[in-house]
Amino acid sequence: MGKSLIEIAKAVIQTEADSVLLLKDRIDQKFDEICHLIRLCKGKVILVGMGKSGHIAKKIASTLASTGTPSFYLHPGEAGHGDLGMINSNDVVIMISYSGESDEIISLLPGIKRIHTPIISMTGNINSTLAMASEFHLDVSVNKEACPNNLAPTSSTTAALVMGDAIAVSLMSVNSFTSEDFAMSHPSGTLGRRLLTLVSSIMKEGLDIPIVSKETLLIDSLLVMTKKSLGMVLIAEDEKLIGIFTDGDLRRAIEANVNFQKLSIQEVMTKNCKSIEPHETALIAMQLMENNSLNSLPVVDSENRIVGAINMHTLIQAKLF
């Protein structure tokens, strides 16, 4: 009886993992020089690959572009019919071909050489035509493919992808690429929205803020809290924040059997409550709320005047989760 599907899957993962680990010993001074070449590139980094290597080239180009290195993928077939004009001497070309002998790739070499654009290649054959024609070569050879026939690109494409990730992440470090920079290139993603959205753009303000004075009776404050539907009421003195009363405080008040008819809000409010300024990002607000187990957060200016309010529902509405 043959191997089970579970055994086959585990063997595939192990084979590919072993192939990736082989790359560690190939990272040397040449890799450092490649990263500096790309970093100093005044144009674009252009990825070229055919077939499965083309898919890997597309992914590497996308990763580079989203992490601060302007990049795009160029199909070698289209390049041979006019799109080679997208490349100029200020660019850097990364060509991926496991054999290093792909006809579509090799046919582009004379044109690229003619305009003096540096070529970085990734192949599994250091003696291949592509490897020999490149200014820099990265060895992504593997001992065997995960395919049982040792034919379908599996381990080899994984190795090339990981080498591309190594370049991209190394460049991120050298360029001090921050999470804020990442957000700028991902404005439609959740992380991008969290980092780019300011509290001022999502907070409730004006008449929508549940504010009462410290002398207001608790029972009347509850009416304001219910009407504004933010799960809180803010207590102000001379427009400045002095406390907050939330749904959680209400539950505790009920458990303590407080006299709702006679108590003023200042007698049951939470003093020295957390707050945030409107120029902070939604991510900072979310972290503040999560770290302190808060569902509601007042927004104040630099002089502690109440200018807005947000809660977890506000963040959800802004699609920050």
Q: What is the pLDDT of residue 290?
A: 92
Whole-number Å distance between alpha carbons of 244 and 92: 58
pLDDT of residue 181: 63
- pTM comes to 0.68
Question: How many structural domains does the chain have?
Answer: 2
Same domain flag for 40 and 82: yes
Same-domain pairing of 82 and 164: yes
CB–CB of 118/45 below 8 Å? no
Taking residues 72-84, report their average pLDDT: 94
How far CA 203 is from CA of 59, 184, 195, 293, 308, in Å, comes to: 38, 22, 15, 19, 6
Percent of the chain with pLDDT over 70: 93
Half-sphere exposure of 234 (CA within 13 A, CB side): 33
Contact 95, 105 (CB under 8 A): yes
Are 164 and 224 in the same domain? no
Of 177, 204, 228, the one marking the end of a domain is: 177
Residue-level pLDDT at 184: 62
User: Across all residues in the chain, what is the average pLDDT?
Assistant: 92
Asked whether residue 255 falls in the same domain as residue 294, the answer is yes
Per-residue pLDDT at 220: 94
Q: Residue 127 pLDDT > 90, yes or no? A: yes
- In this model, does residue 56 exceed pLDDT 80? yes
- Judged against a pLDDT cut of 90, whether residue 318 lies above it is answered with no
Q: Quick one: 121 and 258 in the same domain? A: no
Interval 209-240: pLDDT, tens = 999 999 999 999 999 999 999 999 999 999 99
Strands 211-213 and 232-237, how do they pair? parallel
pLDDT at 83: 93
Calpha distance 153→301 (Å, rounded): 59
Q: In this predicted model, which residue has the larger pLDDT, 68 or 116?
A: 116
Of 177, 212, 239, which residue sits at a domain end? 177
Any idea what the CATH number is for the domain that residue 201 is in?
3.10.580.10
Of 121, 142, 177, the one marking the end of a domain is: 177
Closest CA to 87 of 66, 64, 104, 108: 108
Which of the four pLDDT bands, split at 50, 70 and 90, describes residue 200? very high
Question: What pLDDT is recorded for position 174?
Answer: 84
Query: What is the residue range of 288's domain?
Result: 196-317
Examine the domain organization and report whether 204 and 167 are in the same domain. Answer: no
Confidence of residue 3 (pLDDT cuts 50, 70, 90): confident
Higher pLDDT, 76 or 262: 76
pLDDT of the residue at 1: 59
pLDDT at 52 over 80: yes
